[in-house]
């Protein structure tokens, strides 16, 4: 049994099984699994976008090491 971790832009699924990550082409999955990946890919992409926005917001909010606030 494996857990879906990501859907890569090249159309492969990144699965984790027994502590190892595997890349599996969608065409190697069953029809049921392809349907699941289709829906999960949207949720994974949304979660990735939220994380990327949070990282960018954090970088903008944090002062630069050379920022002296005009001193």
- Residue 24 phi, psi dihedral angles, 5° rounding: -125, 125
Residue 29: how many other CB atoms lie within 10 Å? 16
What does the pLDDT look like over 3-55, one tens digit per residue?
A: 888 888 888 888 898 999 999 998 998 999 888 888 888 888 888 777 777 77
DSSP of 34-46: HHHHHHHHHHHHH
- The residue extents of the domains of the chain are 3-59
- Model-level pTM? 0.59
Tell me, what's the pLDDT at 69? 64
Tell me, what's the pLDDT at 42? 83
Cα distance between the two ends of the chain: 59
């Amino acid at each position: 049994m494996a857990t879906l971790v990501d859907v890569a832009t090249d159309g492969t699924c990144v699965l984790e099984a027994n502590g190892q990550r595997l890349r599996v082409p969608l065409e190697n999955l069953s029809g049921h699994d392809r349907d699941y990946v289709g829906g999960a890919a949207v949720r994974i992409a949304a979660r990735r976008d939220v994380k990327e926005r949070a990282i960018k917001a954090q970088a903008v909010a944090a002062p630069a090491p050379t920022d002296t606030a005009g001193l």
